[in-house]
Amino acid sequence: MVDVLIMLAAGLAGAAFLLALIRFITGPSRLDRVVAFDVLTVIAITFIVLAALLEGRGVYLDAALVYALLSFLGVISVARYLEGRF
């Protein structure tokens, strides 16, 4: 039962990933692309956490945490860079 719910969550996350990817590619402004990139990284972290739950490996959670921290720093850096341009 839990495996079915994890697969359902992965399917929903996959659909959200595709929608965010479309926004990232066709975003009308740079700020839209930054927000879409942030959403894409959050969904990627979701996939890592779902893989950790599915396989029962805690080391994936460590990787997800590191990826989340790097993603946060990257988005903040780009936002700071774009702040002076608008």
pLDDT of residue 84: 78
Query: Residues with Cβ < 8 Å from 58, sequence gap 6 or more?
Result: 52
Q: Which long-range contacts (CB under 8 A, 24 or more apart) does 24-27 make?
A: none
As given in the structure block, the two tokens for residue 63 are 């990787």
Instruction: Tell me the C-alpha distance between 50 and 54, whole Å.
Output: 6
pLDDT of residue 26: 96
pLDDT of residue 49: 97
Q: Compute the C-alpha angle 38/34/76, nearest 5°.
A: 75
Q: Which residues of the chain have pLDDT under 70?
A: 86
pLDDT of residue 86: 61
pLDDT of residue 38: 95
pLDDT of residue 32: 92
